A = this chain, B = another copy of it.
Amino acid sequence: MKVAVLTGVPGVGKTTVTEKALENIQKDYKIVNYGDKMLEVAKKRDLVEDRDQMRKLDPKTQRDIQGQAGEEISEMAENQPVIVDTHSTINTPDGYLPGLPEWVLRPLNPELIICVEADSEEIIGRRKKDSDIREREIESKEKLEEHQFMNRSATAAYSMISGATVKIIKNHDGGLEEASEELAGALA
């Protein structure tokens, strides 16, 4: 069994590539959204009623919930391989927040970290077409390159602690087929 972590900046197409990759392999992965899992943990503890209240929790409680979400996902993987849909770093107004801080990474214990990337121009183009992406998330080319740099660097650190391999998948315009085949190889 296996925990794979799926990362990539908004608009890079990580979900599309992954769904296409899963069509072509035998292994039956369950895709878990890490944010959803955290919300579920917090609701079970009667700490919040909806997602908006999550941010208002004090930092210690937040870390505790994050860690427990990691543990529960790791337990799920004992029965079925899991892909955790999350972020390497999250671009917040205060800076890049680590998606897999130590207290999540250790209980989660992934074997594979997938890093879906594309050229910054390609990502900007995709974001403009996607009405789900809020206006404020339209970043400049320079900022996007910075974000992808931080994402990659962070995976190298996550890999040192977990021993996970880091698979960088280039999802270029018109290259979905190639990207999904490469990912299928790592997930199979």
Q: Given known contacts A160-B102, A160-B154, is B112 in contact with A168 (CB within 8 Å)?
A: no
CB neighbours of A101 from chain B (8 A): 159-163
Q: Given known contacts A93-B186, A112-B94, A152-B149, is B161 in contact with A160 (CB within 8 Å)?
A: yes
CB neighbours of A153 from chain B (8 A): 152-153, 156-157
- Distance between Cα atoms of A168 and B163 in the complex (Å): 24
A160: shortest Cβ distance to chain B, in Å? Answer: 5
Check if A150 is an interface residue, CB within 8 A of chain B.
yes
- Distance between Cα atoms of A105 and B159 in the complex (Å): 13
Copies per complex of this chain? 3
**Chain A 66-107 against B: per-residue CB contact (8 Å), 1 yes, 0 no?**
000000000000000000000001001111111011110100
Interface footprint category on A: 35 or more
Most chain B CB atoms below 10 A, which of A152, A160, A162: A160
A77: shortest Cβ distance to chain B, in Å? Answer: 14
CB neighbours of A166 from chain B (8 A): 89, 95-96, 150
Partner of A165, one of B94, B103, B167: B94
A165: shortest Cβ distance to chain B, in Å? Answer: 4
A158/B159 in contact, CB under 8 A: no
A163/B98 in contact, CB under 8 A: yes
Check if A113 is an interface residue, CB within 8 A of chain B.
yes
Give the B-binding residues of A (Cβ under 8 A): 63, 89, 92-98, 100-103, 105, 112-114, 142, 146, 149-150, 152-154, 156-163, 165-168, 170, 185-186
